């Protein structure tokens, strides 16, 4: 399951205010991004396979400047954060060497990133 994340909740996660140790995955998307909309079902498919990770989606229009704060360019972007009482360890999924023509990332690429970084 993928839940929508609010700006306040994202700031709480990034600010180290989450006390319970866990890993969260966040897909950053934009309303006008065709890749983002096409990736949605694939991201949800990956989310269904991981019980130990909390999956979120965040609309970058809800927080102008979030790309600069987290040091990424453009959407879709996926990141993994290890949280729990301190500033989170943040990993941004690299751009694919050959982006998929409709979804940008593929399910195997997302799973590989998660397995490497979790």
Q: What's residue 56's pLDDT? A: 98
pLDDT tier, 113 (very low <50, low <70, confident <90, very high otherwise): very high
Domain limits, the chain: 2-117
pLDDT tens profile 14-36 = 999 999 999 999 999 999 999 99
The secondary structure element, H or E, covering residue 13 is helix 7-14
CA 59, 63, 66, 69 dihedral sign is negative
Average pLDDT, the chain: 95
Fold of 2-117: Glutaredoxin (3.40.30)
Q: What's residue 62's pLDDT? A: 96
pLDDT tens profile 58-74 = 999 999 999 999 999 99
Q: How far is CA 110 from CA 10, 50, 52, 81, 94, in A?
A: 21, 12, 15, 14, 10
Task: Please give the Cα distance from 106 to 12 (Å, whole number).
Answer: 29
């Amino acid at each position: 399951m993928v839940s929508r994340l609010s700006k306040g909740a994202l700031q709480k996660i990034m600010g180290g205010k989450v006390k319970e140790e866990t890993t969260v995955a966040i897909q950053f998307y934009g309303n006008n991004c065709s890749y983002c909309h096409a990736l949605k079902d694939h991201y949800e498919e990956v989310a269904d396979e991981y019980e130990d990770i909390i999956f979120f989606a965040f609309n970058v229009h809800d927080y102008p400047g979030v790309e600069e704060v987290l040091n990424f360019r453009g959407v879709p972007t996926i990141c993994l954060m290890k949280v729990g009482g301190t500033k989170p360890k943040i990993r941004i999924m690299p751009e694919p060497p050959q982006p998929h023509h409709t979804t940008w990332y593929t399910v195997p690429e997302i799973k590989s990133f998660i397995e490497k970084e979790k």
